[in-house]
Homo-oligomer: A and B are copies of this chain.
Amino acid sequence: MKIILDAMGGDNAPAEILKGAADAVVTFAPDLEIIAVGDAEKIAACARENNLKLDHIEIVNATETIEMCDEPAKAVRTKKDSSMVVGLKLLAEGKGDAFVSAGSTGALHVGTSLIVRTVKGIKRPALATIIPGKTPFMLLDSGANVECRPSMLEAFGVMGSVYMEKVMGVKNPRVALVNNGAEESKGTPTYVEAHALLKANNRINFVGNVEPRDIPAGVADVVVADGFTGNVILKLTEGLAKFFGAKLKGLFKSGVKGALAYLLLKGGVADFKKGMDADEYGGAPFLGAAKPVIKAHGSSNARAIHQAIRQAKLCVENDLCGVMARNLTSEEKEA
């Protein structure tokens, strides 16, 4: 299997990206080859400096880089020789099986839609994020499509369900629709209609509306929302985790008592932090793309890249996009 990697995307490129790739090649040998796309000279220099072995990593040169500040659509159109565009083209041409990038989310969304294209019935892919909680769940769309029609919300339910089953190994995943009440009549007209469509869809295990209060309690494996609402859920979760974390840190730093308490709780706090580490699950897949495209976090380190490559490999091995395409169009769920 060949995974294509954007060697220049993200805050820690190319060093951490290449380290993650080198680690992944060792972990998954002999099944994995990597195509690293980016400035070949910089990549070679970085490998020398960091004493990295690039066995089983093919370098494909790309002279440009899409920056976070670039306007996504324009960047994809004009930076033809950027690591992201070249990587997506290699994927579209079948030179590799999946693409991983820690670069601009917006550009990756546009580039995926235009270059890799989407499965039948999906116009633009959804950004799907795995969020830790009592049990980890998939939130989609978490920000790519700010406005969604009811049929898109239905498709999100199907795609999220296939992902949780095929990649995360969750049997018969529980799919829920974010809403401001449990009753079918709740929410905007879009949400009322989406509820009816999800309920009638026999390829998913729809458990009804979920109130945001219950999301962290693990009541669903797939949480469906439009991209505007999903983005609020994703970002507010991040913000509140940071806020409560800082408060806890403040308690530990309040004198001798706090320091002593920290020593007593250190192991438990570390376990909790590890449980809340989203990197463990890899990056955010663009579901609905014709081939697997994974957005790794912009701040990804080698470990996060390693996990995103692992995730891309699972998507390929389980024919995620194929099963998804069939489940989106057929009447019955594929076993």
Give the shortest distance, in Å, between A212 (CB) and chain B (any CB).
Answer: 4
Contact of A239 among B187, B212, B234, B257 (CB under 8 A): B212
Is A44 an interface residue, CB under 8 A from the partner? no
In the assembled complex, which residues on chain B have CB atoms less than 8 Å from the CB atom of A257? 264-265
Report the separation of the CA atoms of residues A215 and B147 in the bound assembly, to the nearest whole angstrom.
22
Report the separation of the CA atoms of residues A232 and B179 in the bound assembly, to the nearest whole angstrom.
8
Is A213 an interface residue, CB under 8 A from the partner? yes
Give the shortest distance, in Å, between A64 (CB) and chain B (any CB).
Answer: 23
| B-contacting 9-mer, from A157-165, A241-249, A293-301 | A241-249
Is A251 an interface residue, CB under 8 A from the partner? yes
Q: Given that A180-B231, A212-B231, A216-B243 are contacting pairs, would A258 and B264 also be in contact in the complex, using a CB cutoff of 8 Å? A: yes
Give the shortest distance, in Å, between A260 (CB) and chain B (any CB).
Answer: 6
Check A239 against B216 for contact (C-beta < 8 Å).
yes
10 other A-B residue contacts (CB within 8 Å) besides A187-B228, A236-B237: A133-B243, A147-B188, A212-B239, A213-B242, A228-B229, A232-B233, A232-B236, A236-B236, A254-B268, A258-B264
A residues contacting B by CB (< 8 A) are 133-134, 143, 146-147, 178, 180, 187-189, 191, 211-217, 227-229, 231-244, 247-248, 250-251, 254, 257-258, 260-261, 264-265, 268-269, 272
Sampled A-B contacts (19; CB under 8 Å): A146-B187, A178-B232, A212-B233, A212-B236, A213-B236, A213-B242, A215-B239, A216-B239, A217-B239, A228-B229, A232-B232, A232-B236, A236-B236, A236-B237, A237-B240, A240-B241, A248-B248, A251-B268, A261-B265
